[in-house]
A = this chain, B = another copy of it.
Amino acid sequence: MKNHINNKLLVKDFTEDEIINILSCYQTDRKGLIKGIGDDCAVCETEGIDYHVVYTSDATIEDIHFKDGEIPERIGNKAIGRVLSDLAAMGAEPNWFIINLSLPKNYKIADLKSIYSRIKIVLDEYDSSIIGGDLSKSKKLAFNIFGVGKIKKNKPVFRSNVNANEMIWCTGQLGHSLSGRHLDFKPRIQEGKWLSEYGHAKSMIDITDGLIKDLDRLLKNKYGAILYEDTLKKMSSLNNVLYSGEDYELLFTSSTDPSMLLHSWKNLFSCELTCIGYTTDRLNIYLKNDKKINLVEIRGFQHF
- Rounded to whole Å, the gap between the CB of A156 and the closest CB of chain B is 13
- B42 near A304 with CB under 8 A, answer no
A11 touching B132 by the CB < 8 A rule?
no
Q: Which residues of B contact A11 (CB under 8 A)?
A: 103-109, 112
A-B contact pairs, 10 of them (CB 8 A): A13-B109, A19-B109, A26-B116, A26-B130, A33-B129, A42-B98, A46-B49, A57-B132, A98-B146, A102-B142
Q: Are A27 and B129 in contact (CB under 8 A)?
A: yes
**Contact A12–B46 (Cβ < 8 Å):** no
Distance in Å: Cβ of A51 to nearest Cβ of chain B: 9
A9 within 8 Å of B (CB atoms): yes
Q: Name the contact of A127 in the complex, choosing from B16, B30, B100, B104 (C-beta under 8 A).
A: B30
A300 CB → nearest B CB, Å: 15
- Give the top 10 A-B pairs by smallest Cβ distance, nearest first: A144-B144, A146-B146, A42-B131, A12-B105, A28-B129, A42-B132, A26-B116, A26-B120, A100-B144, A48-B49
Contact of A113 among B5, B112, B119, B124 (CB under 8 A): B5
15 further A-B pairs in the complex, CB-CB below 8 A; given A19-B103, A59-B134 = A5-B110, A6-B110, A9-B108, A10-B109, A14-B109, A26-B119, A26-B130, A29-B129, A30-B127, A37-B132, A44-B95, A48-B50, A49-B49, A64-B136, A100-B100
Q: Is the interface of A mostly helix, strand, loop or mixed?
A: mixed
Interface of A toward B, CB cutoff 8 Å: 5-14, 16, 19-20, 22-23, 25-30, 32-33, 36-37, 41-42, 44, 46-50, 53, 55-59, 61, 64, 95-96, 98-110, 112-113, 116-117, 119-120, 123-124, 127-138, 142, 144, 146, 148, 303-304
* Closest chain B CB from A150 CB (angstroms): 9
Partner of A47, one of B49, B100, B103, B116: B49
* B105–A304 touching, CB < 8 Å: yes
Known A-B contacts A28-B120, A137-B304; A109 and B42 likewise in contact (beta carbons under 8 Å): no
CB distance from A4 to the nearest CB of B (A): 11
State A110–B100 Cα separation when bound (angstroms).
Answer: 27
The smallest C-beta distance from A222 to any residue of chain B, in angstroms, reads: 22
> When A28-B120, A49-B48 are in contact, do A109 and B9 touch as well, CB less than 8 Å?
yes
For A8, list chain B residues within 8 Å (CB).
108
Check A137–B22 contact: CB distance below 8 A: no
Nearest Cβ distance between residue A178 and chain B, in whole angstroms? 20
How far apart are the CA atoms of A127 and B28 in the complex, in Å? 9
Q: A19-B135, A26-B116 are in contact. Are A10 and B48 (CB under 8 A)?
A: no
A33 to chain B, nearest CB (A): 6
